[in-house]
Amino acid sequence: MAVSLEPRRRGVQGTASRRQTRPMSEINVTPLVDVMLVLLVIFMITAPLMTTGLQVDLPKAELAQIATPQEPLSVTVSKTGKIYLGDREVAIDALIAHVKATAANNPEARVFVRGDQALAYGQMMTVIAAIHNAGLHKVALLTQPAGQAGPSVRQRAALQ
């Protein structure tokens, strides 16, 4: 199949040459890109102007410092059933007394409870129920992420 690259000529003499124009089947994206860039520049200029507020001179007052959230209580139950408040061993009665004192000062305090996986379910529930009945209701059970190794030697010694 042969294709001629010369424009078609009319007539025998070939002096009047005319190209036949066909409709373009491609989209010209250059104007679209130009419009989008102009809109981008407009939004980049006007967006910071829309977020600024009114300039106001605020009055000065002496107020008490806003209390920062306290660290949660950490309760650990070892596989032998010993209860630790932080890193010291306590009896269940001492734990209840400490939780009641904490609840009196801050009823929204959090408690993190860690228990050995070999520990019986009933023993864990006894400790959690004691904390709940003493007045603190934000109790969370801590677990270890699946990809991490077990507790360190120091943590194991503290849990024994």
Residue numbers of the domain that contains 139? 73-159
Say which CATH number the domain at 94 has. Answer: 3.30.420.270
Please say if the pLDDT value at position 44 is more than 60: yes
Asked whether residue 80 is domain-assigned, the answer is: yes
Place of tokens 């929204």: 108
- 114 domain-assigned: yes
pLDDT in tens, 116-139: 888 888 888 999 999 999 998 889
Q: Shortest CA distance to 136 belongs to which of 88, 89, 85? A: 85
Instruction: Give the end-to-end CA distance of the chain in Å, rounded to a whole number.
Output: 91
The total number of structural domains in the chain stands at: 1
Higher pLDDT, 58 or 129: 129
Within a domain: residue 104?
A: yes
Q: Which of 22-26, 56-60, 111-115, 146-150 has the highest mean pLDDT?
A: 111-115
pLDDT above 70 (res 13): no
42: in domain? no
pLDDT at 159: 43
Residue 22 domain-assigned (yes or no)? no
Q: Please give the residue that has the higher pLDDT: either 88 or 57.
A: 88
| Closest to 71 in 3D by CA, of 85, 83, 82 | 85
Would residue 50 count as lying in a domain? no
Over 90: is that where the pLDDT of 8 sits? no
How far apart are alpha carbons 116 and 78 in whole angstroms? 5
What confidence score (pLDDT) does residue 93 get? 92
pLDDT of residue 155: 47
Report yes or no on 17 lying in a domain: no
Buried-state track 74-99, b at ≥16 Cβ within 10 A, e below 16: ebbbbeeeebbbeeeebeeeebbebb
Q: Is residue 9 part of a domain?
A: no
Share of the chain above pLDDT 70, in %: 68
Comparison of pLDDT for 64 and 137, the residue scoring more = 137
